[in-house]
Amino acid sequence: MVSPSPGPGQVSPTLADGFAEIERTAECAIDDLARMVAIDTTFPPGAGYEAFAGLMETTVAALGLDCQRVDVPEHLWRVAGGPAQGRRTNLIARRRSDKPVLGLYFHVDTVPAAPGWISDPFQLTRDGDRLIGLGAADMKGTVAAVLLALRAADTIGLPLGYDPMLLLCTDEEGGLYPGVRYLAEQGLLEGHVLNFNGAAAPRIWAGCFGLFTLLVRVHGKTVHASEAGTAGSSANAIEAALPILNALAALKPTIAARTSALPAPPHATHPLAAQLDISAAHGGQCGGQIPSLFEVLVCRRYAPEEDFQAARTEIENAVLAAAPGAAVELVLTGHLMPTSDPTGPHWPRWQEALSVGFGYAPDDFAKWGATSCSDFGWVQQTGMQEILLTGLGRPESHIHAPGEFTTRADIVALAKSVLAYLSAEFRRDLSPETIAAR
């Protein structure tokens, strides 16, 4: 006879032993995180992926996971006119048995370190419970939490209900072809997926906006600055771009007026709305030289109700109309599709696992979407609709900003949630696989 699964908020003695092992060995996870933070995987340029894959292969060796490197072909991700900056190396690390597969997804890239860091962004530092470093919360700390859970399971001999498959992927922070998109399109994803690119919050994911980036290149002609006034001798690319910048600024409130039916986060005072931002601008080298190139990076977040091609064309038309005499290129440099409602049959059990890990009550949970974006919109295009979500992000975590941090307590809580969900004995009454086998 199969013993009954512990009820809501309860864990078995064996799982309790696993939780104790997580607490006992939490410093090992912090050591893992320090090694991960030390590898520069900023995107752009995306030059550190091979080094990170090598670190992960070494790290998971003791867990008996089989590793497979999968590179995204360069012609898919390289931006037209841009340099090749490093292989887009994704790593799949998995355990193979007769169990169903649980994909554990992480993006390994970070945004570049913004000005204002007090500590070295590539050296993990501690301030009490805080663990400070670039990517600590988004999202290398989640890798450390999962490794902590898997080690605890092996140490105490906890029977697992799923074969874990770690998906360590490239180019989520931008780019034309995120690694998980390529893995999905190559048929390399199995089972269902737990996405760690979320918040440490009792959230039921309702989906999210899409995002694309356009690089506007305005060309001029370089001459000595003293010759700038000579008729026909130069074209100042920065000055030629001024009408374009004004046109983009004028378009911004029009786009911001477009709202979505996607539910907003709790306590939000406004519905989720589309966004247009000038995210970067580069041009010129010195005062004695007329600049021949000015580049503007435009970021557009679009609601699921909007059409990508229409949103792109609107910006391109505004740019070209603003400077009809200028030599202008427009290049798509990144695109994430919107993610539709990803909830499915595994969610109730995952909610229970989050609750035992973080201490949430059932009425803490709420369902909401976000204007932040995910590479799982591309995954859904291949037919996999259900995606579970969690993460280490908190409003105070300074994600994408100087001083980004997570905490030891959150890494431990996330590890416990993952261990519970992987456990074969945890809430079997909520497991779709167990129910189907009856």
The pLDDT of residue 228 is above 70: no
**pLDDT grade, residue 183 (50/70/90)?**
very high
- Give the pLDDT confidence score for residue 1 in this predicted structure: 37
Range 276-290 average pLDDT: 90
pLDDT of residue 233: 46
In which band, very low, low, confident or very high, does the pLDDT at 229 lie, cut at 50, 70 and 90? low
**What's residue 221's pLDDT?**
81
Given a cut of 90, whether residue 9 has pLDDT beyond it is no
**pLDDT, mean of residues 1-26:** 80
The structure tokens listed for 204 are 């039921």
Q: Output the pLDDT for position 434.
A: 87
pLDDT at position 7 is 57
Encoded amino acid at 328, one letter: V
The arithmetic mean of pLDDT across residues 44-72, rounded, is 96
Beta-strand pair 203-219/192-199? unpaired
- Euclidean distance between CA atoms 160 and 163, whole angstroms: 7
Tell me the mean pLDDT in the region 334-350: 96
pLDDT at 36 over 70: yes
pLDDT at 235: 85
- Confirm if 297 and 333 have CB atoms less than 8 A apart: yes
Give the model confidence (pLDDT) of 92-128 as tens digits.
Answer: 999 999 899 999 999 999 999 999 999 999 999 999 9
197-209: average pLDDT: 96
d(CA 6, CA 287): 72
Tell me what the mean pLDDT of segment 126-142 comes to. 97
pLDDT value, residue 225? 56
The pLDDT, as a whole number, for residue 201 is 95
Q: Which of 147, 77, 104, 126 is nearest to 403 (CA)?
A: 126
What's the mean pLDDT in 371-383?
A: 95
Tokens for 319?
């740019």
